[in-house]
Amino acid sequence: MIPGSFDYFAPRSLEEAFDLLVEHGADAKLLAGGHSLLPLMKLRLAAPRVVVDLGRIGDLSYIRDDGEEIALGTLVTHAEVEHSELLRRRAPMLAETAAEIGDVQVRNRGTLGGSLAHADPAADYPAAVLALKAEFTLASRSGTRTVKAKDFFVDLLTTALGPDEILTEVRFKADRARAGSAYRKLHQPASGFAVVGVAACVRLDAKGKCDTAAVGITGVAAKPYRAMQVERALKGKAPSDKVIAEAASKAATGADALSDLHASARYRKAMAEVFARKALTEAFARARARK
């Protein structure tokens, strides 16, 4: 299908973009890589009167080492995340996650910020940023505010972004000694989306026991979530196969699982446990290797 008619703007600065959002209000939609908005427009599921293309704002495309933290501008592409030497060294799970998204064409055009702002329940990044305990910078003409990843995803295709705000940066702590992370997913064969995706970040103490654990899960429910019961079950324990399996069994506890043509709610819950075990096993193995 062909989208309805719309006005197109390509601002070269955030200030220009803010002005357009204020001027056009609910009639305007932001365009980043286009892999979320354009399909909706072609299907007439979205019909914005104004499209504001952020692609020419160079200030939003960077991957930066800030010491203990890493900062990413939200216009970095999935391919840039996947191939970043900095991320492969200091936050390998995010690069690993990016490599799981779609295909080469999608990864070369799609952006980190576009994916996060769209909040598709089967997207990969949300699990990763939840496990990384990332913080998001939301900017508007009136200033900026910081929102934690766990508070950013509100519901199906719904985030904490206000109508006049732009997601400009994602920031999180880099891996440290005795820390490990991993992302594992059950692919939907045609689209590559996550039927279930699990991201795990763990850190061992000096005695080899679990000091901290954070587990993000996507694909199961209408919005991604932190598997807090899994995390609590690991705290202070030596991560044996039995301990990991018992913790992973809680991956879908309390989740209102989706049921659709790709998978039933029961199957999604079962796969959440399976892939939580896979992600945790790999994350702990990597943590042991980082002494």
CA contacts within 13 A on the Cβ side of 188: 21
* Structure tokens given for 99: 């490599």
Of 87, 89, 96, the residue nearest 64 (C-alpha):
87
Q: With contact defined as beta carbons under 8 Å apart, do 195 and 268 qualify?
A: yes
Residue-level pLDDT at 2: 83
pLDDT tens readout for residues 140-169: 999 999 999 999 999 999 999 999 999 999
Using one digit for the tens of pLDDT, what is the confidence trace for 43-84? 888 899 999 999 999 999 999 999 999 999 999 999 999 999
Q: Report, as an integer, the average pLDDT of 264-284.
A: 98
Instruction: Tell me the domains of the chain and their CATH numbers.
Output: 7-53 (3.30.43.10), 58-173 (3.30.465.10), 179-289 (3.30.390.50)
CA distances from 257 to 51, 216, 265, 272 (A): 33, 15, 5, 10
For the whole model, what pTM was predicted? 0.96
